[in-house]
Amino acid sequence: MGLLTGKTALITGGSRGIGAAIVRYFAAEGARVAFTYARSVGPAEALVAELGDNVKAYQSDAASFEAAGDLVKAVTADFGGFDILINNAGITRDTLLLRMSESQWDEVMDNNLKSIFNLTKHALRPLMKSGAGSVINMSSIVGVTGQAGQANYAASKAGIIGFSKSLAKEMGSRNIRCNVIAPGFIVTDMTDELSDDLKAAYLGQIPLKRMGDAEEIAKACAFLGSDLSSYVNGQVIGVDGGMS
């Protein structure tokens, strides 16, 4: 315990699923945590009530450049700055490319890829002021391998990898690291909606023969946010049971 004591993290999409697991794990490891949510007011408030005074929720639109700037200002005012940024917010609008509308493409790109530009752009100066920073961007195994019916999602997640590797090269001299986590099939509300046949098909591709737990993603984030990973920069860490 205490791996992240003395650190402050800003986590997007923190009210549910993987995001909520990261918030809980970071708080348990001693970090102060600011997290965002879009519409899940009840779960966000419940999480703050559960974890106490060192955790605060902010309603913010990840796809808005202006909202990202306002968020960074608010978190900096409330916490005095932050040294870990986790870009976790994202959506899916799955369908075959033949049926995909322009709005389905744009909505995924805005929420999954442009959102990372939005927040990271505004966060760089506060991270520089902290003297050392860690940016952790959430991609997906789909961004590495592709997936039928997810051309928009896969493209957004692949873009995150290129963005992150570029940022790692740009900001390394300022002692700001940037790494990527690429989860495989993790038990969340999203995977709960999959049919039993589809779940069985996915399990057949996983060498460990099980889906992952959201806390296993949180543990990887804690490693990348902590001083244990002080020489890890520009890497893509697959947390996928061996699929990749």
16 known member of a binding site: yes
Residue 202 among known ligand-binding residues: no
Whether the Cβ atoms of residue 83 and residue 34 lie closer than 8 Å to each other? no
> Would residue 153 show up in a list of annotated catalytic residues for this protein?
yes
Q: What is the residue whose two structure tokens read 């966000």? A: 44
CA 126, CA 8: separation in Å to the nearest integer? 11
- 186 labeled binding residue: yes
CA 161 to chain centre: 12
- State the Cα–Cα distance between residues 238 and 220, nearest whole angstrom: 9
The response to whether 80 counts as a known ligand-binding position is no
| 93 to 46, 154, 167: CA distances (angstroms) | 27, 11, 27
14 is in an annotated binding site: yes
> Are the beta carbons of 11 and 23 closer than 8 angstroms?
yes
- Say if residue 153 carries a ligand binding annotation: yes
81 known ligand binder: no
> 157 among the known binding-site residues?
yes
Residue 90 amino acid letter: G
159 is in an annotated binding site: no
Q: Contact at 8 Å (CB) between 178 and 168?
A: yes
32 in a known ligand binding site: no
Q: Of the listed 25, 37, 58, 153, which one is catalytic? A: 153
Which residues, in sequence order, are bridge partners of residue 59?
Answer: 37
210 annotated as ligand-binding: no
Tokens 């996915």 appear where? 202
The region that residue 139 occupies, defined by phi over 0 for left and psi between -120 and 50 for alpha, beta otherwise, is beta
**Binding site as annotated, residues:** 13-16, 88, 153-157, 186
Active-site residues: which are they? 153
Binding residues for NADP(+): 13-16, 88, 153-157, 186
